[in-house]
């Protein structure tokens, strides 16, 4: 398995520019005093003339010699008001403004590639040097709950069922690959699996529910190795590989974000690959006993290229959401057509090496992974993590088919199920995860943790 080294990119600061207002002035010319009507008394005429002369003299002395010296008006200029579509679409893109990341203090300095969002208040993160973090107040405070004696382990994936129960995976060859479980919020941990085969290298773990789950290793004797649990991760067994297609030469998984193995529903699971001549996604509909492989258009043919992350959701999860009540009948019909064939899926990846191009770094499926289509407008660079935005975000972003993709050079948002992506943020993140109630977090290098905000 490959160790990924990503370079952090500085977030540019937005500057506001003031707009100046020019002032024009008319030339003041001498005027002969109005003598008034012929029948005006002479004394009144002289008095009027004197008053006019005094006024003209005062006015002439008050006019500046140059327009640039004109005093600013005492009355402030009226502030323009924004209403209607301009209030929700200040850039005139025809779309609501995207959400944004709000950084949180994790108290850690290690890279955090494992992330599990439970709900709006609870999330777990895992990373280098045996680090495990947990928050139960929406990220206002992150607490270190690392297993003792694991400073030499590289945690790359964590799956959490609630605020107390979680399973964390350490990667590496041989005995470096391990899994530990907690039932008390990280106060104590139990080692539930240790790899004893030096040929195996475990990358990701995923659960269908709080009892059934799988973990995957890079190919052993030409096939990916799958572990299975039926008791919430307390015990694991290797599944037979008769239903697993052969791996391509040089093919493996990427332990970049804990998303190389993902589930949706009670039986469906997908496995992302890279490093081979072609990028592939393997799909199982029977909890990992049999698999079928499908090729994708993502960059391949090099150990640094392939599919790094997958995100799937049941078609029912989008149909059941009615947040976009303002959508037209045509849009609703289009959404039904999109979802009718199976789970919606997104694949992201590319070339993780800094400065290397990653064209066609995203693809989508509407039929549960039987076929994949390249994104019409993919993210501009390599992306290592992806997540569907849950129903509470549908109204905010104006779509029930919205998702995020993250990587070392930024975050991208799609509102059409992954066909087109637009930049949302330039901060460096490795992984992203969202809970059904709308709680979304991202994490990455140097202890970076952020929560998605409106």
pLDDT in tens, 107-147: 999 999 999 999 999 999 999 999 999 999 999 999 999 99
Q: For tokens 């970049």, name the residue.
A: 256
How would you label 337-358 residue by residue, b for 16+ Cβ within 10 Å and e otherwise? ebbeebbbbbbbbbbbbeeeeb
Q: What is the pLDDT of residue 268?
A: 97
Whole-angstrom distance, CA of residue 21 vs CA of residue 72: 9
Q: Do 396 and 378 meet the contact criterion of CB atoms below 8 Å apart? A: no
Q: What is the pLDDT of residue 316?
A: 58
- Mean pLDDT over 166-170 rounds to 98
- Mean pLDDT over 346-350 rounds to 98
Query: Can you say whether the dihedral through the CA atoms of 313, 316, 320, 324 is positive or negative?
Result: positive
- Mean pLDDT over 334-345 rounds to 61
- Mean pLDDT over 359-381 rounds to 97
Quote the percentage of the chain above a pLDDT of 70: 73
Categorize the per-residue pLDDT at 195 as very low, low, confident or very high, splitting at 50, 70 and 90.
very high
Categorize the per-residue pLDDT at 96 as very low, low, confident or very high, splitting at 50, 70 and 90.
low
pTM (2 d.p.): 0.77
Average pLDDT, the chain: 82
Q: What is the pLDDT of residue 171?
A: 98
- For Cα atoms 417, 304, 313, give the angle at the middle one, nearest 5 degrees: 25
H and E: helices and strands count for the chain? 5, 28
Q: What is the pLDDT of residue 28?
A: 34
Query: Which residue in 196, 198, 241 sits closest to 222, CA to CA?
Result: 241
Whole-angstrom distance, CA of residue 78 vs CA of residue 86: 18
Q: For tokens 């409106």, name the residue.
A: 454
**Residue 69 above 60 pLDDT?**
no
Whole-angstrom distance, CA of residue 259 vs CA of residue 271: 9
Name the DSSP class of 243.
Answer: B
Q: What is the pLDDT of residue 98?
A: 77
Q: What is the pLDDT of residue 342?
A: 78
Query: Can you say whether the dihedral through the CA atoms of 194, 195, 201, 202 is positive or negative?
Result: negative
Structure tokens at 246: 């052969």
Query: Which residue in 380, 388, 420 sits closest to 9, CA to CA?
Result: 380
Query: Which residue in 403, 342, 333 sits closest to 375, CA to CA?
Result: 403
């Amino acid at each position: 398995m490959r160790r990924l080294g990503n370079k952090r990119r500085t977030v540019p600061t937005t500057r506001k520019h003031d707009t100046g207002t020019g002032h024009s002035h008319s030339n003041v010319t001498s005027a002969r005093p109005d003598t008034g009507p012929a029948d005006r008394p002479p004394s009144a005429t002289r008095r009027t003339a004197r008053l006019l002369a005094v006024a003209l003299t005062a006015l002439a002395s008050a006019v500046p010699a140059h327009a640039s010296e004109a005093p600013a008006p005492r009355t402030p200029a009226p502030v323009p008001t924004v209403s209607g579509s301009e209030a929700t679409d200040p850039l005139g893109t025809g779309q609501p403004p995207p959400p944004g990341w709000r950084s949180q203090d994790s108290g850690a300095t290690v890279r955090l590639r494992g992330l599990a969002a439970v709900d709006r208040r609870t999330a777990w993160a895992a990373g280098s040097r045996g680090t495990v973090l947990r928050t139960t107040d929406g990220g206002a405070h992150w607490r270190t709950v690392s297993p003792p004696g694991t400073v030499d382990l590289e945690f790359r994936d964590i799956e959490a069922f609630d605020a107390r129960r979680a399973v964390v995976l350490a990667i590496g060859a041989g005995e470096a690959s391990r899994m530990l479980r907690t039932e008390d919020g990280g106060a104590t941990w139990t080692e539930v699996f240790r790899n004893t085969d030096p040929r195996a290298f475990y990358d990701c773990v995923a659960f269908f529910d709080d009892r059934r789950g799988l973990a995957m290793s890079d190919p052993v004797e030409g096939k990916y190795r799958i572990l299975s649990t039926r008791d919430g991760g307390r015990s694991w067994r290797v599944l037979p590989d008769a239903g697993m297609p052969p791996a391509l030469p040089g093919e493996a998984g990427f332990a970049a974000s804990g998303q190389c193995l993902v589930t949706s529903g009670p039986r469906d699971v997908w496995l992302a690959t890279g490093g081979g001549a072609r990028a592939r996604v393997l799909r199982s509909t029977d909890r990992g006993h049999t698999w079928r492989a499908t090729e994708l258009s993502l960059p391949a043919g090099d150990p640094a290229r392939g599919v790094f992350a997958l995100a799937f959701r049941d078609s029912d999860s989008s149909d059941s959401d009615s947040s976009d009540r303002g959508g037209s009948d045509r849009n609703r019909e289009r959404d039904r057509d999109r979802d009718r064939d199976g789970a919606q899926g997104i694949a992201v990846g590319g070339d993780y090496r800094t400065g290397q191009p990653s064209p066609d770094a995203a693809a989508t499926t509407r039929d549960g992974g039987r076929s994949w289509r390249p994104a019409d407008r993919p993210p501009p660079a390599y992306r290592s993590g992806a997540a569907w935005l849950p129903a509470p975000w549908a109204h905010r972003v104006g779509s029930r088919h919205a998702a995020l993709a993250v990587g070392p050079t930024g975050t991208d948002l799609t509102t059409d199920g992954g066909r087109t992506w637009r930049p949302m943020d330039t901060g460096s993140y490795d992984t992203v995860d969202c809970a059904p109630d709308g709680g979304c977090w991202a994490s990455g290098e140097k202890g970076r943790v952020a929560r998605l905000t409106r």
